A and B are shown apart, each in its own frame.
Chain A
Amino acid sequence: MHNHKGELENIAAKVAAGERLTREDGVKLYQSNDLLAIGKMADLVRKRKNGTNTFFIVNRHINHTNVCINRCKLCAFGRDANAPGAYTMSLDEIEAKARASANSGISEIHIVGGLNPELKLDYYVDMLQRVRRVLPGVVIQSFTAVEIDYLAQLHGMTHHAVLRALQEAGLDSLPGGGAEIFAPRVREIICSKKINGDKWLAVHRAAHELGMRTNATMLYGHVETIEERVDHLLRLRELQDRTGGFLTFIPLAFHPKNTALEPMGLAGTTGYDDLKTLAVARLLLDNFDHIKAFWVMVGPKMAQVSLSFGVDDLDGTVVEEKIAHDAGAETGQSMAKSELVRMIKNAGFCPVQRDTLYNVVEEGF
């Protein structure tokens, strides 16, 4: 069963010595079924970087439109403009939603949506200005690299120029969505119209150069190989070496339900795969401070267990999440802060409420 025992011991020695792991190491870790040995290595790195601190944020998600010209096969959220269920929120609606959350103690607002050709840069600028006005102290972490690139194309602008316009209107930070798996072979199957990996990385690089911190994701558990996952992680590590602008890496387990990939018979990820993926990310991404398990995607039980497999961030109390739920995530829409705190403490870790930049908002729960 544990075919790779000797090899794992070599990797464990490198981890203990703080040496950088190679592509081959990453592949070997993924190939091993020795879940506890992998967990132990990841836990060592996690403790080194974050002790027993486990971060969460009180935030609100708004998905302003599900109209999307890309219609990626991986996605259960996007609609054609004239399809039943297609929606686009007006700026007034978005402002009202933002205002409604003003007194709920949120420190971050997370706005992402589809590529809707009707929505031009002025819609986004206006949206940011309004949200900034009603939520003055709240960090706006919005728009994936895919949306930024689309705006650049629509207006014939550079990524830099679009980002700068949005930054001036109030944008603080970019979320990590749209990265999927960088390998072109995989993108051709799951999201053929989406920007390629180079462009995704270029947008983040531009954001980092403008002083914005961003996140990175990986959607796994569909048609990608282990090697393609490892390469994805290594490309993120490379950019992080140059810019240091990434805050957190967030692996996202693919949910096949209601997506165009469902007929392929994809079954979704297993518990081993989820924990290994989080742990391998912790081990390969030695220049990332944080690894996040998005509890909406993996479920609260697995999210709690993942704290011993390299994870130090459980995202937050998420209000109104549509994208994972459209794909059949069976979790609730939000989790009370007290529930998150209890979950973290019961696992023997120390809950810390953070802001987007991991400054402490509240601790000592």
Chain B
Amino acid sequence: MNAVSVLLEKALAGERLSLEEGTVLLEEAELLELGRTADQIRQRLHPRGRVTYIIDRNINYTNVCTCQCRFCAFYRRPNDADAYILSKDALFHKIEETISAGGTELLIQGGLHPDLQLDFYIDMLQSIKKRFDIHIHSFSPPEIVHLARQSGLSISGVLSRLQEAGLDSLPGGGAEILVDRVRKKISPRKIGWRQWMEVMDRAHRLGMKTTATMMFGHVETTAERVLHMVRVREQQDATGGFTAFIPWSFQPRNTDLGGSTAGGVEYLRTLAVARIMLDNIPSIQASWVTQGAKIAQVTLSFGANDFGSTMLEENVVRAAGVNYRVALQEIHRCIKDAGFIPAQRRTDYTIIKEIH
């Protein structure tokens, strides 16, 4: 047996792979062999043949952002003609639409707006919870750290204030690659990897679940991609609060960073290695928004067990030129056609209903 087969056997035997071993797999394993191993691990973790998804809405309350990351096509400066802050009326209207579409979750994210204070966020959360019965899965770590700086509170302090006001869980955005060499190149003003992880650590300790994302296919090395996974895995050993890992590839259009993006093969390989490496994270999400429905469906043979969200609205990704829109029907079709049972879930991955 060659080195790669030994590693795949080891993973199948339930043994944990090291950074070096994961890197060997990402660089050398054959696509179908990698898929087969990830698929077997997925079957073990999710034996009921379900593929889940959530009906939610991504609401971007502002596009003003002081971070101005080079991979981002969404941000505007405060005085730009198309800079905006969403009004409460518009926000409530979007939430009503979400609930009438069967939605159970709001993914509220925005830029790091220099003028919006903690009170704005607390008021937003309270006013939503007063009117609607919906899970609020909102504000990625860069926004939390921004609020801590503005308010002078600790990260824990900000998170508890938001939690009291109605925040239920945190999305895993802003992780990009959790290696500071990479972050300095693509997002020099964004928080470092330790701070990103600190936010997740504090959130988990306050009883909030979070996800973790990874944006790859730009300036990072394969080893840095695997290091990202290992860092998430170590945090998960400590706090156990990550529900899912969501890899997606950098979308170069309309960004300062530009260049090309990872192809379909690179995406499937990375997703499969994530399933193999992240032995303590229950779910791996496909990203149909960045990959299209076809590749997203194919991930169901490469380790993914969740189709992510219906994304009734996704301004951040849309600004970068992704024109895929998969209706709920299409998600059901993709899941069934691959031989699985579609199941609508809540944010915590409990099942609302199976679709037969």
Name A residues whose Cβ lies closer than 8 Å to a Cβ of B: 1-2, 33, 35-36, 39-40, 43, 267, 269-275, 298-305, 307-308, 330, 339, 342-343, 346-348
Which of these, A43, A269, A272, contacts B338 with CB under 8 Å?
A272
Interface status of B340 (Cβ within 8 A of chain A): yes
Interface status of B145 (Cβ within 8 A of chain A): no
Interface status of B119 (Cβ within 8 A of chain A): no
Interface status of B178 (Cβ within 8 A of chain A): no
By DSSP majority rule, is chain B's interface helix, strand, loop, or mixed?
A: helix
| Cβ–Cβ contact B295 & A301, under 8 A | yes
A193 to chain B, nearest CB (A): 31
| Cβ–Cβ contact B31 & A301, under 8 A | no
In the A-B complex, the 7 residue pairs with the smallest Cβ-Cβ separation, listed nearest first, are: A33-B339, A301-B264, A271-B294, A271-B297, A347-B265, A271-B298, A35-B301
Complex: A151 Cα to B329 Cα, angstroms: 44
Contacts of B260 in A (CB 8 A): 339, 342
| Cβ–Cβ contact B294 & A267, under 8 A | no
Complex: A330 Cα to B264 Cα, angstroms: 16
Complex: A16 Cα to B101 Cα, angstroms: 50
| Cβ–Cβ contact A36 & B338, under 8 A | no
- With most chain B CB atoms within 10 A of its CB, the pick from A33, A35, A43, A273 is A35
A221 to chain B, nearest CB (A): 11
B229 to chain A, nearest CB (A): 20
| Cβ–Cβ contact A270 & B334, under 8 A | yes
Name B residues whose Cβ lies closer than 8 Å to a Cβ of A: 30-32, 35-36, 39, 49, 260, 263-268, 291-298, 301, 323, 330, 333-334, 337-340
Complex: A343 Cα to B265 Cα, angstroms: 9
By DSSP majority rule, is chain A's interface helix, strand, loop, or mixed?
A: helix
Q: A267-B330, A348-B265 are in contact. List 18 more A-B contacts (CB 8 A).
A: A1-B49, A1-B340, A2-B339, A33-B339, A267-B333, A270-B293, A270-B297, A270-B333, A271-B294, A271-B296, A272-B337, A299-B292, A302-B264, A302-B298, A305-B295, A307-B265, A330-B323, A347-B265
B326 to chain A, nearest CB (A): 11
| Cβ–Cβ contact B323 & A305, under 8 A | no
B286 to chain A, nearest CB (A): 10
Complex: A272 Cα to B339 Cα, angstroms: 10
Residue of chain A at shortest CB distance from B29: A348
Residue of chain A at shortest CB distance from B295: A301
Complex: A267 Cα to B298 Cα, angstroms: 17
Complex: A50 Cα to B18 Cα, angstroms: 36
Complex: A206 Cα to B260 Cα, angstroms: 46
B266 to chain A, nearest CB (A): 6
Contacts of B266 in A (CB 8 A): 346
| Cβ–Cβ contact B339 & A1, under 8 A | yes
Complex: A312 Cα to B35 Cα, angstroms: 20
| Cβ–Cβ contact A305 & B264, under 8 A | yes
A251 to chain B, nearest CB (A): 14
Contacts of B264 in A (CB 8 A): 300-305
Complex: A301 Cα to B260 Cα, angstroms: 13
B333 to chain A, nearest CB (A): 6
| Cβ–Cβ contact B265 & A35, under 8 A | no
| Cβ–Cβ contact B31 & A273, under 8 A | no
| Cβ–Cβ contact A274 & B32, under 8 A | no
Complex: A269 Cα to B293 Cα, angstroms: 10
| Cβ–Cβ contact B333 & A271, under 8 A | no
17 pairs across A/B with beta carbons < 8 Å? A2-B339, A35-B338, A39-B32, A269-B294, A270-B294, A270-B297, A270-B337, A271-B296, A272-B297, A299-B294, A304-B263, A305-B264, A305-B298, A308-B31, A339-B260, A342-B260, A346-B265
A11 to chain B, nearest CB (A): 16
| Cβ–Cβ contact A302 & B294, under 8 A | yes
Residue of chain B at shortest CB distance from A272: B338
Which of these, A2, A273, A301, A347, contacts B291 with CB under 8 Å?
A301
| Cβ–Cβ contact A308 & B32, under 8 A | yes
| Cβ–Cβ contact A33 & B338, under 8 A | yes
Contacts of A343 in B (CB 8 A): 263
With A304-B263, A304-B265, A305-B298 known as contacts, the answer to whether A348 contacts B292 (CB < 8 A) is no
| Cβ–Cβ contact A301 & B292, under 8 A | yes
Contacts of B39 in A (CB 8 A): 36
Contacts of B297 in A (CB 8 A): 270-272
Which of these, B263, B292, B293, contacts A346 with CB under 8 Å?
B263
Complex: A21 Cα to B338 Cα, angstroms: 24
B262 to chain A, nearest CB (A): 8
Complex: A218 Cα to B252 Cα, angstroms: 34
Which of these, A267, A271, A272, A347, contacts B263 with CB under 8 Å?
A347
Which of these, B35, B296, B330, contacts A36 with CB under 8 Å?
B35
A258 to chain B, nearest CB (A): 16
Complex: A302 Cα to B292 Cα, angstroms: 10
A255 to chain B, nearest CB (A): 12
